[in-house]
Amino acid sequence: MTARPPMDLRCLLAILTMMLLLAPVFGQAPFSRYRIDQKRAAVSVDPAVLPPPIDGKIRLTERQVVEMALTHNFDINLQRSAVLGQRWRIDQLRGFYDPQMTFSLDWDREKTPAASVLQGGPSLTNILTTGTSGYAQTFSSGTSLEATFGAVRNRTTSFFNSLVPAINTQFEILFRQNLLEGFGKVGQEYQIQIARNDSQTSEQEFKRLATDVILQVQDRYWELEYALRDTDVKDKSLQLAKTVLVQNRARYEVGTAARLEVVQAEAEVALRQEELVRSKYSYRLIQDELVQLISNFDDPRLFPGDLVPADPISRPDTVRESFDELKEQALKARPEVEQAKLDLASQKVSLNLTRNRLRPNLDLVAGYQQFGLGGTLVERDFSQGFFNPPVVGIFQGGMRDSLDQMFSADYYGYMLGLTLQLPIFNQEARAENAQAQISMDQAKLREERVRQLIAVQLREALTRLEMNQASLEAGEAAVRSARERLVAEQARFEAGMATTRQMIEAQRDLLVAEITELRAQIDLVKSQALLDKAAGHTFDRFGIQLADALNRNVK
């Protein structure tokens, strides 16, 4: 006949089997938090939606390309995702205060030879079953609380034991309070405060990055307009050169012009043809760069048409604010300033944390316990001696008796104590404190450097705006003069009083003047965009709200 396992082992196996059978039930919510991925918001970018092309061209305004960049630009979406990740850092640190539940179950069987007759037999077999459960939690005030319940079931072959099996139960509450280091605010609270600052810093980094991307989009948008107009100017210039060539060939055929003038005209046509090809190539490169900034196409050439700016080139409004007013606005609106302030605030928190760690560790510990004992009482007759006394009576008992006795509070205990940990030299804490002070000094310097950088950028933007305004005025005057000269040279050429070279030079002077004027127009518009960025007006210029921009594409 096969031997059956001991009762205690069978109980343990039954409990383990029950746990395995109930595992699928425990796997459902809310227990799913322990085994599946956390549900979280994520950035998901849909394909870019574009208006249908007309005659192979897609006309977009400056505001439209900026909106597309905010939605589809990969760098912006990466930083948007980084903001989401940083917010979870706060929850991660808050997990320090999560209550903890613990459970344990142990079974131990041992058989040992007896070294003394007082051990209760020639050999001893002890079967020990132990179960404990506990609850622990730490609070931000530097307080910790632990509650523990334990039960021990001991079965032994020693005939000196009156309770076989004996069941000991114990309930304990332990309270601990920091009195010096961590008193009123544990180190984790400082870390959470820093994480909040880091989260806001990541949002400001998003604004800074988005502002830079918008400035790049504006730059490419207006450079695309320049490339288109430059192509038109050079195409007109090519047509003028071709007209001169046709006239020279006609004059050569009738003998009123030399062969050299025809050759000069042909060379000029070839040169202007090459310049036109270069302008068209430049347009294609700039469009690729703009498409890369405003869309998520794998290949910029997948853009379904030629991108054409729909906004006309207009003179920016005159700047009415003084430098000091613009600087004050920039210090309130620029994300770099807010980042510097948050960095300084975090360094102050770190300094306070190191000051807290300079203190010795002194803890007040207080506890309360209750005890119970139960089990099957075995009475033996020791009148005939202590060796293997006969059993005269058995009184059944068990866990219920032990629990009743424990909760009756007849058997209890108190505990009160102080624990002091005093580093003799405290070098680590002192070094951390000194480093924190240095880091805070560096944060102050970084903040001052940001203020200086903003002032320099404002000065540069205002200077560029003023310079480009003057360049545009000069360019407009040069175009008027070049046009009048070309008309005069055209009349002289048709009258046979001007040479082909003079005619070509007049055309080229007009070409250079028109391109210079166009360059000044574009640079002036870009100067306004640069001033908006320097003064922190970019988001306001396009009506962008930071919260809305952050939540875009978040699903």
Q: Express each pLDDT in 388-419 by its tens digit.
A: 677 766 778 788 888 888 888 889 999 999 99
What CA–CA distances, in Å, run from 47 to 65, 79, 297, 303?
15, 19, 8, 12
User: How high is the pLDDT of residue 166?
Assistant: 87
Helices (H), 171-322: 187-254, 259-294
User: How high is the pLDDT of residue 385?
Assistant: 61
User: How high is the pLDDT of residue 377?
Assistant: 80
Q: Is the pTM of this model over 0.75?
A: yes
User: How high is the pLDDT of residue 164?
Assistant: 80
Query: How large is the angle between the packed helices 187-254 and 427-494, nearest 10 degrees?
Result: 10
* End-to-end CA, the chain: 66
- Placement of tokens 């009475």 in the chain: 379
Question: Mind spelling out the 3-state secondary structure of 505-535?
Answer: HHHHHHHHHHHHHHHHHHHHHHHHHHHHHHH
Q: Report the distance separating Cα 148 and Cα 134, nearest Å.
A: 4
C-beta of residue 258 within 8 angstroms of C-beta of residue 249: no
- Domain layout of the chain by residue ranges: 101-138+143-181+361-421, 189-306+324-350+430-551
User: How high is the pLDDT of residue 393?
Assistant: 67
C-beta of residue 80 within 8 angstroms of C-beta of residue 552: yes
Looking at domain 189-306+324-350+430-551, its CATH class is mainly alpha
C-beta of residue 112 within 8 angstroms of C-beta of residue 123: yes
User: How high is the pLDDT of residue 326?
Assistant: 96
Q: Report the distance separating Cα 470 and Cα 253, nearest Å.
A: 48
Regions in the chain scoring below 50 on pLDDT: 1-23, 25-28
Closest by alpha carbon to 297, among 47, 106, 63?
Answer: 47
User: How high is the pLDDT of residue 95?
Assistant: 92
Q: Express each pLDDT in 228-276 by its tens digit.
A: 988 988 888 888 888 888 888 887 888 777 888 888 888 988 998 998 9
User: How high is the pLDDT of residue 118?
Assistant: 65
